[in-house]
Structure 1
């Protein structure tokens, strides 16, 4: 059986994490900051486990927005990866960032970051118009109000940009529990950041020894 071409695989997409920084996170009201940080860790961890080409971009890191979330730094430390710091709100209008994304050679792009109604919408619409298949991880996006977040999502949906969630992203990449080369890392990530689901996995692994 052939899976749908719309599904993500570790090989067919690039992940772009935008402005997951302290100052941008302070104003978030559409999702709890704890949940946002947890979901960020799931996505960053998933992309690392599956070796997904990942671009981290920031806005005015030194002058205003501050450092990235610790959950990004955990999997993509700046000293090893380097982040692309921008002045533009739209990542697609920053030459270095746009060139880095295109250099991955992937036609599917997954966006996650802050704020939904500005940096995510701008980049997503621009990438879609440039011929890319665009996805966004809705619960690793946030905004200053639920209204702002939801209207931004509504706007992207009109243009065929595909929503998903952090856990969906992780499980779509794993896809098959018989994929043993990533099984242990994926279940460890779920145990650490997967909330109640993670507790269940932890219980099963330790109590049922399976």
Structure 2
């Protein structure tokens, strides 16, 4: 409102200079690091707050988005060889372990792992986007720790899961009360795309949606076919 009044007072007739400035709170490919935590079989088996097929699809959307937009990404496992097992195939699809390398650790709070902490510092970005298993343990730990060190943190709520719905919801509430920003997997993808005129990522984004985007993806597939006719 103040900007509109100012424009009226000085006789400015165009507001384009204001409309073209997005909020600094919006995510873009160059302003954050993505952290994907413990998407492993043993962590998924007892997860009940979200159906596992949905969790896998949402994980794929997030991982695919970060790959398409070249977002710096850190992937962690916990006791991979002795307890938790391999990561989801959807994560391996975009970030093969042999190429990407995962940070395996013993601590529940990855922030307390020296290798992980150094990896975050090396990326050099003060905004973190985090998803993984379980919400109340392995997500709460690094989220609260990062916030206490001055990081801005986003939590991808539908790419997280826990033993119960209550455990997941209370963990999200706790993190939000501490200053974390909740977002969803599809929101993350579309916020990075932001403009459908960005042709270099238009097709990869829509292909990702068709494969893992549920009803939205079916809609995109349908539209593509109907346009041909």
**What TM-score comes out, normalization by structure 2 length?**
0.91
User: What runs of 5+ residues in structure 2 fail to find an aligned partner?
Assistant: 1-19
Q: Aligned match of 1:109 in 119, 128, 131?
A: 128
- The answer to whether the aligner puts 1:118 opposite 2:149 as a matched pair is no
What corresponds to 1:22 in structure 2?
41
Choose which of 35, 40, 58 in structure 1 pairs with 2:77: 58
Aligned to 2:88: 69
Which of the numbers 175, 180, 184 marks the counterpart of 1:161?
180
Structure 1, unaligned runs of 5 or more: none
Deviation by residue 1:64-100 (Cα, 9 ceiling, x = unmatched): 0000000100000000010000000001000100110
Q: Name which one, 1 or 2, has greater alpha-carbon Rg.
A: 2
In terms of fraction of residues, the more strand-rich structure is 1
List, as ranges, runs of 4+ consecutive aligned residues in structure 1 with deviation greater than 2 Å: none
Tell me the distance in 2 between the aligned counterparts of 1:197 and 1:92: 35
Distance in 2, matches of 1:66 and 1:123, equals 21
Cα deviations by residue, 1:10-50 (Å, 9 ceiling, x for unpaired)? 00000000000000000100000000000000000000000
User: Counterpart in 2 of 1:38?
Assistant: 57
Alignment-derived partner of residue 88 in structure 1:
107
TM-align CA RMSD:
0.9
Q: Secondary structure at the match of 1:173?
A: helix
Match of 1:140 in 2: 159
CA–CA separation in structure 2 for the residues paired with 1:102 and 1:72? 23
